[in-house]
Structure 1
């Protein structure tokens, strides 16, 4: 472990860690949050949904924070990207849901946030589909709003992939499938950032060890995951973890970085985000 991280670990002040209560985050960070990673610094955990986490990062409120890759261009002046702990993958993209509608011309669409990967993918996919309006709605309220007819379509993420049929909704598009067809790359969803003054390499190693501990003994984190899973059924929780926690959670690797760079370059070309001014690695 580096001298800077060792000094932090000896310090009585915990690092602040802000993540979502979703099973992929609680599974990945269980060991770190409970002091089970040898020599890693103590952390104090705050839970919030992704739109709130993006705002917390913009305000520099946390030492370590989960954000959407769609927010990265606004955050890299203050934060560095860790190579572990995030969510990338295949077959795990956002869905565009409707109550039977087969196109979006003139549609009102509910989305979970504007500085999200889901939003960027939706805007790239829907550029010529005639959407009338887009509103930000808390993600847990999107499916009920579409079901009740208050919106014509909804953009959903996370566990909604598994539960939307119970609302009588259908998937008009899987934006993860669309992205993979366009690029042959995994879809970059959530990133883990650390303040630039911290030792990013050492923190990446600590987070990687936490993820590895979860893989080694999934039962150890089960109670913690279920306690924060917003009453998801255990089989949905297991499916969620298997989908979002994978080899990219251990290390982004060249393919992971290529996916991030491609998404943000295409979004910048479409004037959806600023071009990166800080290197990713």
Structure 2
């Protein structure tokens, strides 16, 4: 039984619906799914507690000794995390900014670090790490000055009266001319199952698209945002050709992310 980690966000539950519900051939492999937020999955992989997992692309830098990158099932897109605030004027006038982040090893955290160095380097920061679904409320209540929002949050923050500070996806693409490598799937090198799992993921994707309503009903069970329109928009933005096969462009994007870590470090 292989422990397989995915997040509860709509793109993951849509992609892996066919495997979880035993709708596709798994070629003799048996999976025990662990559904946790992506930062928890990053931590579990650091402890080598998962055999296969969705992780933040940022985290692969720390996992590449024991895990190998799969070409299928990841999240590469032109839509990235966004930085939000309740009071834009306040940000200009304070010297120490409270920044809410969805986990230290998330790609969103790294992108915010790169953006911070270019735009806020004269200010001090106080980091607040928390589950991604808490960030909008923390910013709305004034408990964080800036929040980095991922998943469905990028589509709904304005409903809370919050303002856009920056689109980190646009920032990344302007800097690199590459898609944003948000998340990827890895498997333990010692298992030697990479090609088989890639094949299974592609079959699961095909099943989800050919049974879309069925896949949507499954996805709704796990989504933080219950609006069907938001869930569909999320899937449309983060499940794409790169999900079937990231190809050389996807690998190039992840390598560029690793290069940025080596050049700029991360939050201290």
CA RMSD, Structure 1 to Structure 2 (Å):
1.5
1:163 to 150, 156, 164: 156
TM-score, scaled relative to structure 1: 0.88
Instruction: Report what 1:56 is aligned to.
Output: 44
Q: In structure 2, what is the Cα distance between the partners aligned to 1:241 and 1:184?
A: 23
Report the TM-score, using the length of structure 2 for normalisation.
0.92
- The Cα of 1:211 is off from its aligned counterpart by 1.4
Aligned to 1:188: 181
Q: Which runs of 5+ in 2 are unaligned?
A: none
User: What displacement does 1:184 show?
Assistant: 1.1
Q: Relative to structure 1, is the Cα distance of residues 172 and 231 closer, same or farther in structure 2, using a 3 angstrom cutoff? A: closer
Q: Structure 1 residue 22 and structure 2 residue 15: aligned?
A: no
CA distance in 1, matches of 2:62, 2:81: 22
1:220 to 208, 214, 224: 214
Structure 1 spans left out of the alignment, 5+ residues = 1-13, 274-281
> Per residue, is there more helix in 1 or in 2?
2
How far is the alpha carbon of 1:116 from its aligned partner?
A: 1.2
| Mapping for residues 62-81 of structure 1, pairs under 5 Å | 62-81=50-69
Counterpart selection for 1:109 from 99, 112, 126: 99
Query: Where do 1:100-179 residues align within 5 Å?
Result: 100-101=87-88, 103=91, 106-128=96-118, 129=120, 130-179=123-172
Judge conservation of contact 2:152–2:230 (CA < 8 Å) in 1.
yes
Count of aligned positions: 259
Spell out, residue by residue over 1:152-171, the C-alpha distance to the aligned partner (whole angstroms, 9 max, x if none): 11111000011101111011
Cα deviation, 1:25-77, whole Å, max 9, x if unaligned, reads: 01000111122222432322111011111111111112111110111111111
Equivalent residue in structure 1 for 2:35, among 42, 47, 50 = 47
Q: Is the 8 A contact 1:124 1:267 kept in 2?
A: no
